[in-house]
A and B are shown apart, each in its own frame.
Chain A
Amino acid sequence: TQLLEQSPQFLSIQEGENLTVYCNSSSVFSSLQWYRQEPGEGPVLLVTVVTGGEVKKLKRLTFQFGDARKDSSLHITAAQPGDTGLYLCAGAASGTYKYIFGTGTRLKVLA
């Protein structure tokens, strides 16, 4: 069974701080996506990474795909209250057609 574990599960930080969220698996993924989900809404896509070692930046968010394509990280610089939400990673395993979601990281940024 392919699993994606995210850490930390919960994170509460002050505005302006930096943070990193990790997404780890023992399985290889051909692509990995990061989503942010707010209460009562569906997940909103942030980024898709495909190549091992790939780094993508989206304003204050930096996403990295591990060289072996088994893990990924999301780094947020100078967090703002608007970053509050549930962050989910989802991987498409090679040879399958379904995305497996991580356990999620619930982030709260305090003003």
Chain B
Amino acid sequence: DAGVTQSPTHLIKTRGQQVTLRCSPKSGHDTVSWYQQALGQGPQFIFQYYEEEERQRGNFPDRFSGHQFPNYSSELNVNALLLGDSALYLCASSLGYRKGSGNTIYFGEGSWLTVV
């Protein structure tokens, strides 16, 4: 039973560039959420995808966008990278789209992004 997988694990980008991070959810899961975790802090919610649509969004600018594919995998895109975008980007998957009903979310290992 494959867990949540993310790629790449590490990458370095230059300010102003664009980056795409990828996520495959846990087998059987259909909902994907993305989080940003800066060094020494807890994860911050970016957005959540279900049925290929963005369902909810956190306090992140439009430079952060995403996509979910028919096979439930997802991408996170960040445009015009800033130094402050350097962080661990975590993908989490869950089953169903329920309002805080206790459906558990499972995290991948994350993608470390360094912007120089």
Interface residues of A (CB under 8 A from B): 29-31, 33, 35, 40-45, 48, 50, 88, 90, 92-104
Contact = CB atoms under 8 A, between A and B. Distances in A.
A90 B35 CA distance: 12
B110 to A, nearest CB: 5
22 contacts: A31-B100, A35-B107, A41-B109, A42-B4, A42-B88, A42-B90, A50-B102, A88-B43, A92-B102, A94-B100, A96-B99, A97-B55, A97-B56, A97-B97, A98-B58, A99-B33, A99-B45, A99-B92, A100-B45, A101-B45, A103-B41, A104-B42
B111 to A, nearest CB: 10
Contact of A97 (B4, B43, B99, B112): B99
B100 A41 contact: no
